[in-house]
Amino acid sequence: MDVGEAVELFSVRVRTAFLRCMEIALRLPGLLLFELWWRSRDIHFNPDLFKQSFSSYLEMDQIIEFIQTRNLDQTGAQILSYAVVLMSLMFFLLPLYKLIQVYFHIFSLLLFSVAHYLSARYVQLEQNEDPNLKLDDFTKLERHGFHILAQLVLCVVQSCLLSLENDIARVTLAVFLIPIIARMCAVPIDRLIIAHNVACSLAIMAICIYVLNKTPALLISIRHSMRYLKALVIPRGIGAGAAILWHRLRIAEILISAWLTMFFTRVYVHLAGKGRGFDEIGAIFLASVAESTNTPLSLLALTLTVSCSCKQILTIAEYIVGGQQGHTHILANGGYTGALILALLCAQTGVLGMRTEQKAFLLGLVFLIVVSTLLQSLCEILELQLLEIAANRWTSRGQHMRSVFLSIIVIMTSLCTSAAVTRFLPIDLWCLIIVSNCLLTAVRTLSALIVYAIYVLERESMDTWGRADYVVFICKMITCGVEVLLALNVVCYGILTSLMGHWTLTSLAVLVFYLYFSVWRQLQAGIVSVQSRHAAYSSLSQLPYVSKETLQQRRDACAICLSGLVEDVRITPCKHSFHSACLRKWLCVKQVCPLCYFDLSKCKISGAPEELFLEESGSINTPEDAESSSTESSDAENSSEDDEYFPWFSVHQLNGSDMYY
């Protein structure tokens, strides 16, 4: 790829990202309008109007109160209420270019309001001036000319935004020039407000006529969008069609953006409007989260925000430790697990119907559970990464330091979270689950660090230490035992509280889940690991050693670690040689030969292994002898060699594999 192609690719990506962000920003008000409509359906407020600072106008309740306390007829209020729903759907269903035109029209309405303000301001200024107007001097035309110029600029901008081609339509944009023209025509000051009212009436009439003329085109666009949705859903089915719509309409990104907008608005209100300081940032955070989550829609948005945040944190952590982006399943599961826990707990506890204080407390508890799940996902990434960098000699020192530092952070965060839960929350089943998960994460991360240190020391040491795998096995067994003990604490506490009558279906489901996955499965894994290691030692003890003289003659290499066979070498019945430590590690996984997959668990030695090597020096052919001898003699020697090493093992049992390494 040359420089031109790279620049073009970068520009395409930037353009795509810009269009994506612009689409999310343009469709965002539709979701906010729908959230306001949902909140205002069954809510009634006191008639007290705004008596607070400017920041209070940003509160959702105040906005709804402003809408609900207007002097509108009930029928008209209902019509406008459901018109908000139609507007929200319009923001979602319209194509992007049509949506931009809608924003142009909204901006034109704002310019109409600016023109109305200038007209009202002009009338107010004229009422304070001399009632007798004489335009006999250029200086007397300055004020009137300024207002006329301002109105004309607004009309030109509106005409460009609306793409008006009709001359009459462009003239109607200048209706707020009527008070100025009337005053210049010597209309009395006390009658000037009538001209302003006439201009307002004509402006409203022009807007209504314009809307009636443009509505059919808008309906046609909505109809085309509905046909497009049908074409997506009907051939693929409801499930696949809904997934495609979810992706193409960017509903997840819009929901996350809407919730973050409401959250940061509430944070600003607490900091600027209510005068709270940064020393209360924890309480402000929980209160803002609770006040931003009042409907099922905002709860879904909060769930998606938590999921996205978890995945981003895991991605950043993987980038910091220098991973190869191979833990996609951990990233996905980490995000989805946090979101699922949040949604289930909020739905089960009825968080939407609570008061703000209760909601903030419960959401704080739920967030602690999500944090414990996030720490577990970080631990899984670190376990794999620490094993990888410990086995690689070419890993940079910075990558080692970052991985170890992040592991220490995970351990400290887990311990601090468990300490905070036990200090600030009453002990119940959920709190015990949080503490158990956090302690388990700390223990697993510490175990991964110890295993990492053992492998690094073994790799850097000059002399091979054959007991490293034994220490690693003991460390893993201790970790497994701690996991089982922590899970048993949760199960025992849950059973005790259930016997006392404090039980629910959710608590019983959690107990069954913990009893199966955290106790039974962990015990099974530990027992299988011990059995595999015992079987590996049993199989290895039946294999004879190869003498140093034989190793010096053969000059072979271990097929597992690729290093030379110098000492402590075992030979298998299929005539393959390996280091004892390497073969022991392999046999813990599979009871077969690493090269030919011959079953080593079934071989039986009839005599002492020392007797098999009494005459090995005379029966072993060196590579030079094998080259100079004929094919028949080499076959005979190999046959006698087989009888010396393994008298119970015949040549045709090798399935054609008669190579001796």
Is residue 129 included in any domain, yes or no?
Answer: yes
201: Cβ–Cβ under 8 A, 6 or more apart, which residues? none
499: three-class secondary structure by DSSP? helix
Closest Cα partner for 371 from 317, 418, 404? Answer: 418
Tell me the residue range of the domain where 606 lies: 542-654
CB neighbours of residue 323 within 10 Å:
20
Is residue 514 included in any domain, yes or no?
Answer: no
Contact 164, 170 (CB under 8 A): yes
Give the residue from 215, 248, 281 where a domain finishes. 248
Residue 374 has a pLDDT of: 86
Residue 325 has a pLDDT of: 53
259: three-class secondary structure by DSSP? helix
Residue 564, strand partner residues:
557
Closest Cα partner for 130 from 117, 143, 145? Answer: 143
What separation in angstroms does the CA of 399 have from each of 94, 110, 303, 473, 604? 49, 56, 33, 26, 48
In three-state form (DSSP H/G/I as H, E/B as E, the rest C), the secondary structure along 219-257 is: HHHHHHHHHHHHHHHHHHCHHHHHHHHHHHCCHHHHHHH
Residue 638 has a pLDDT of: 42
Is residue 118 included in any domain, yes or no?
Answer: yes
Is residue 435 included in any domain, yes or no?
Answer: no
Residue 577, strand partner residues:
571
Residue 260 has a pLDDT of: 92
Provide the sign of the torsion angle of the four alpha carbons 57, 58, 61, 67, taken in this order.
positive
Is residue 577 included in any domain, yes or no?
Answer: yes
Give the residue from 248, 278, 296 where a domain finishes. 248
Is residue 78 included in any domain, yes or no?
Answer: no
Total tally of structural domains belonging to the chain:
2
Contact 270, 287 (CB under 8 A): yes
Residue 412 has a pLDDT of: 93
Whole-angstrom Cα distance, residue 436 to residue 14? 45
Residue 623 has a pLDDT of: 38
Is residue 601 included in any domain, yes or no?
Answer: yes
pLDDT block averages, 10 residues each, the chain of length 661: 61 83 89 84 45 50 59 64 81 83 91 92 83 69 86 92 86 90 85 91 91 84 81 82 83 90 90 79 86 86 86 85 58 57 70 78 80 85 86 82 91 90 78 85 91 83 64 85 85 82 72 76 79 78 78 78 78 80 80 80 52 42 39 40 38 36 32
Is residue 173 included in any domain, yes or no?
Answer: yes
Give the residue from 248, 277, 302 where a domain finishes. 248
Any idea what the CATH number is for the domain that residue 583 is in?
A: 3.30.40.10
